A = this chain, B = another copy of it.
Amino acid sequence: MALVVKVGGKALTANLNGILDDVAAHAESASLVLVHGGGGVVSEYSRKLGVEPRFIYSPSGVRSRYTSLEELRVYVMVMAGLINKEVVSGLWRRGVPAVGVSGADGATLKARRKRRLIAVDSRGRKVVVEGGYTGKVVKVNEGFLKLLINAGYVAVVSPLAIDDDGTLLNVDGDQAAYAVAKALRAEKLVFLTDVEGLTVGGEVVRELTVRGIDEVLPKVGPGMNRKLIEARDALRSGVREVVIASGVRGEPLTSALKGSGTVIRGW
C-alpha cells in the first residue's frame, strides 16, 4: 500500500517535529512518499537576497508564484536544499531511512514549461504574462520512486521539476503530490494543511464523493478549489482516497488516517 503525504509549507513550519514524529510512526507500515511545500520560506529567502517575490492571479482567482530566473535559483536552494534536507535529516534522527529527491533527480517530476500565463491585473483586466520558470507536471518516473520505496526508504519529494530540455521548473506542491499519487496508484493521499479540512459555511465537510465535489466547488476559495478539482481527477485515476486534514494538531497523520478532516472517496 502506497501512502502519499503532502505537507504544506505552513504546517511544516509550524509543526515540523510533530509531523515528523507521527510520520516516523507510520513509516514501517506503508510505502511512504512525502511531498513538501515551502513557498513561504522561498519568499523569505528571496527577500533576504534582494529578489522581491511576485505573485499573479488567474482569472479564476488562483494565486501562483511568478518565477524569474533569479527566483528559480532561490526556489531550488530552499526547496531542494534547505527544506528537503531538514525533512530528510529529521527522519533519520527518528530512525527512518529517507532519501530526498527533487523532481530533477531521476526525472521524478517531468514538467512542461508554461510559455504564457493568463493573469488578471490589479484592475481586474486579463493580461498575458510571459511564463517564467513555472511548469505543469506531465509525467512521474514512478519506477525511480519504487526503486527507493522498495529498498526501504521514505522518499521525500520537493516540488521542483525538470522539462525535456533539462530546465528546472517550479511546480505546484499539491499538483506534484497528486501526480505522484496517481502514478503510484496510491491507496491514500493525505494533505496536511494549516486548516481543519474543507470548510463550507463554517463547517468542516467530513465526507465527500467525486460527485459531491461538483456541488461544493462554487462555495470554496481558490486554493481549496484547485485541490478539489485535482482530487476529482486523482480519484478517477486510481487513487482510492484523498484526505484533507490539519497538520498543525497533535499526531496529524494518525488523525488524518482515522478520518479527521475531509475524506474524499470515488464513490
Name A residues whose Cβ lies closer than 8 Å to a Cβ of B.
45, 48-50, 73, 76-82, 84-86, 88-94, 97-102, 104-107, 144, 147, 151, 153, 160, 162, 165-168
- Contacting A49 at CB < 8 Å: which of B49, B93, B94? B49
Chain A contact surface mostly: helix
How many copies, total?
2
The complex places the Cα of A88 from the Cα of B102 at a distance, in Å, of 10
Q: Is the CB of A90 within 8 A of B147?
A: no
B166 touches A94 (CB 8 A): yes
Contact between A76 and B82, CB atoms less than 8 A apart:
yes
Rounded to whole angstroms, the CA-CA distance of A54 and B180 in the bound complex is 42
How many angstroms from the CA of A90 to the CA of B81 in the assembled complex? 17
Q: How far is the CB of A113 from chain B (nearest CB, A)?
A: 13
**Which residues in B have their C-beta under 8 angstroms from that of A45?**
49, 77
- Bound-complex Cα distance A60 to B84 (A): 37
The 8 Å CB contact of A89, one of B78, B97, B147, B167, is B167
Decide: B97 and A106 in contact? CB cutoff 8 A: yes
Name the one of B84, B93, B105, B166 contacting A166, with C-beta atoms under 8 angstroms.
B93
12 extra interface residue pairs, beta carbon distance < 8 Å, beyond A80-B100, A94-B166: A78-B81, A80-B81, A85-B168, A88-B102, A88-B104, A89-B167, A92-B104, A92-B162, A100-B102, A106-B153, A144-B151, A147-B151
Complex partner residue of A107 from B73, B90, B97, B168, CB under 8 angstroms: B97
Q: A78-B77, A97-B107 are in contact. Are A85 and B166 (CB under 8 A)?
A: no
- Given that A80-B85, A89-B162, A165-B93 are known contacts, is A100 also in contact with B107, CB under 8 Å in the complex? no
Contact B88 A77 (CB under 8 A): no
Cα of A52 to Cα of B84 in the assembled complex, Å? 24
Q: How far is the CB of A99 from chain B (nearest CB, A)?
A: 5
A108 CB to closest chain B CB, in angstroms? 9
Residues in B neighbouring A166, C-beta threshold 8 A: 89-94
Point out the residues of chain B lying under 8 angstroms from A144, CB to CB: 99, 151
Q: Contact: B76 with A85, CB < 8 Å? A: yes
Nearest-neighbor residue (CB-CB) of A95 within chain B = B166
Question: With a CB–CB cut-off of 8 A, which chain B residues contact A160?
Answer: 85
Once the chains are docked, how many angstroms separate the CA of A97 from the CA of B45?
30
Contact A80 B73, beta carbon cutoff 8 Å: no
**Sample (5) of A-B pairs whose CB atoms are under 8 Å apart:** A45-B49, A77-B78, A80-B81, A99-B144, A144-B151
